[in-house]
Structure 1
């Protein structure tokens, strides 16, 4: 079990007045799971939060629930802090053409960005190639966020020299990056080897490794920005397992395995959000000493695999994906 005494306490982070300070955060996929709690705490701390998601009705419902929960917590503690704001941005990570549109929509409303949290993701799904020509997990987990981040870097850098707090990029990876048991070249991300039930996890590992490599390269290319990769933990009852819980025959051992994992090492969705929240809000983290770090369950600094930490491989992943996006007509 994780040592919860070392978990990050969001209450230790600064609170802001949205009228005076206007701290702006953009997060993908924050209407459920750990993203929901990430948005909740940002909102409680006075951030202007833009939630980028595919289905507006689901996001707006999440906003209602978050506001109710925030009021409940404020009433319970008696502590009064200015609350933030919640806004919706449309993005579909399965369709890269929506990424520049999401950036355009955001920039029509904001002139700066303090925190970008690449939170959305999928896990362990069957082999599928998207309309953009990428393996499904690779695009949703990595490529779409890669493009989103690159197009928002000028905005993140805008006030970097004058701001007291550095801009931040938080990328949700996973301990599952270890499923990439060796170095796979970026062009091998479409790996479709039998049996799919095994190699879907290898593809997942490739995508999650790419996210850590991305953060390593960001920390070198943009040292003014604090870029951190996150493993949120093994989340109790996460929806990411749903595909495996529904497959005939497999669903029984899968349910047993996931249930055992939950009991032994699982954390709640809120506890899972603590790593992201530390990366996004902890003032003790600085670009000078913490850039490119890998933070695990509860906000504890950890080390990724040797493959994920390899600078040569990280540069290879960056360069190949830049060229692939250019071939598809995207500005990066």
Structure 2
């Protein structure tokens, strides 16, 4: 049976948190969750853009319960402050949608000393999830959704140069960060099961969609080649977001699964289960990445020995 948002009932008792909610896929995700009457927390780095996005949503859904909170995933202090603020205000967390990301920027090191894509796409979400875990696991039928990418398929985790200090290649670093997100979703789900929690973790990718992520592409591509290829290999955000929404909202979702477009080469099409790379399913890599991540963020959770 195909995924149809019309079949998803109103869920006014639920609380969702969406990172990067001010634009692109995050905005669309937030819009749909509001249409199902959920309370939504928009976690945004740029509060001006977040405020404009919030007002746009409220113009469409005047009765929406919508809050904007600052979150910069490229700052571990910001992640900690956000989690503290969330825990003070909310007694439950039904959906944690780790959506925010940056794609192929020039080389940049964060204030914590980590490569920007690795921290903003993956490491910040790893810490955020851990800090909110108690709220998640105490909420019945809660879910964590990680956004990955087709770029994970040719990627590997370079433990000898995680922060691209020796060599920075934009696409290679992006692929590694999105592979890390997918590995994290699968390993998080395994650890949740081992600890007898009912919360599940799943992953999704949007295929190709023309969102703000493309701002670091060459101008000539965005002005010429991009528009020519777009009708054939990409789909708009309102369609690209459906794998995320399926992972978050459909009833019969198995933890550890991976969802994406099922059309030509996974670029676009109806959402469904999709294949992940061998590297994404290597449990020894997952355990090593988890341990390294705990050391990098200075926070441990879900001990694998349990």
Please confirm whether the aligned pair reaches a TM-score higher than 0.5, indicating the same fold: yes
- Given that 1:275 and 1:296 are in contact with CA atoms closer than 8 Å, whether structure 2 keeps it comes out as yes
Long gaps (5+) in structure 1:
72-82, 246-250
Structure 1 residue 187: Cα displacement: 4.6
Residues 11 and 67 from structure 1, CA distance in 2 versus in 1: closer, same or farther, beyond 3 angstroms? farther
Of 240, 245, 259, 1:295 maps to 259
Structure 2 partner of 1:307: 279
TM-score between both structures, scaled by the size of structure 2:
0.88
Q: Compare relative contact order (CA 8 Å, sep 6+) and give the higher one, 1 or 2.
A: 1
1:55 positional shift: 2.4
- Matches for 1:127-166 after TM superposition, within 5 Å: 127-159=107-139, 163=140, 166=141
TM-score (norm 1): 0.82
Secondary structure of 1:222's match?
helix
Partner of 1:258: 226
Instruction: Summarize the Cα distance change of 1:168–1:274 in structure 2 as closer, same or farther, 3 Å threshold.
Output: same
1:34 aligned partner: 25
Unaligned runs of 5+ in 2: 262-269, 302-306
Residue pairs, 1:83-102, within 5 angstroms: 84-102=64-82
How far off is 1:258 after superposition? 3.1
CA displacement, residues 243-291 of structure 1 (integer Å, 9 cap, x when unaligned): 123xxxxx43565443344221201011111111111111122xxxx11
Larger radius of gyration: 1
Pairwise CA distance, 1:112: 1.0
Distance 1:211 1:263 in 2: 28
Is this contact kept in 2: 1:217–1:315, CA < 8 A? yes
2:288 is the counterpart of 1:316:
yes
Cα separation, partners in 2 of 1:225 and 1:206, compared to 1, 3 Å: same
CA distance in 2, matches of 1:253, 1:92: 29
Distance across 1 between alignment mates of 2:230 and 2:157: 30
1:207-286 correspondence to structure 2 within 5 Å: 207-223=177-193, 224-235=198-209, 237-245=210-218, 251-253=219-221, 255-285=223-253
Shift of the 253–65 alpha-carbon distance from structure 1 to 2, 3 Å rule, reads: closer
Per-residue CA deviations over 1:134-159 (Å, capped at 9, x if unaligned) read 11100000000000001111110113
Q: Secondary structure at the match of 2:114?
A: coil
Note the C-alpha offset of 1:49: 0.3
Partner of 2:52: helix, strand, or coil? Answer: helix
Residues paired across the two proteins, number: 289
Q: Do the aligned partners of 1:9 and 1:274 also contact (CA within 8 Å) in 2?
A: no
- Conservation of the 8 A alpha-carbon contact between 1:52 and 1:90: yes
CA 1:186–1:86: 2 relative to 1, 3 Å: farther
- The change in CA–CA distance for 1:317 and 1:244 in structure 2 (over 3 A counts) is same
Structure 1 position 169 matched with structure 2 position 144: yes
Superposed CA deviations along residues 214-269 of structure 1, whole A, max 9, x for unmatched, are 0111111012212111111200x322111123xxxxx4356544334422120101
SS in structure 2 of the partner of residue 67 of structure 1: helix
Question: CA, structure 1 residues 225+33, in 2 after alignment: closer, same or farther (shift >3 Å)?
Answer: same
- Compute the displacement of 1:41 (Å): 0.7
SS at structure 2 position matched to 1:65: helix
CA distance in 1 between partners of 2:51 and 2:284 (Å):
42
**Aligned mates of 2:39, 2:258 — CA distance in 1:** 26
Alpha-carbon deviation of 1:179? Answer: 3.9
Distance 1:279 1:43 in 2: 17
RMSD (CA atoms): 2.0
Tell me whether 1:45 sits opposite 2:36 in the alignment.
Answer: yes
Cα deviation for residue 84 of structure 1 reads 4.1
- 1:323 is displaced (CA, Å) by 1.7
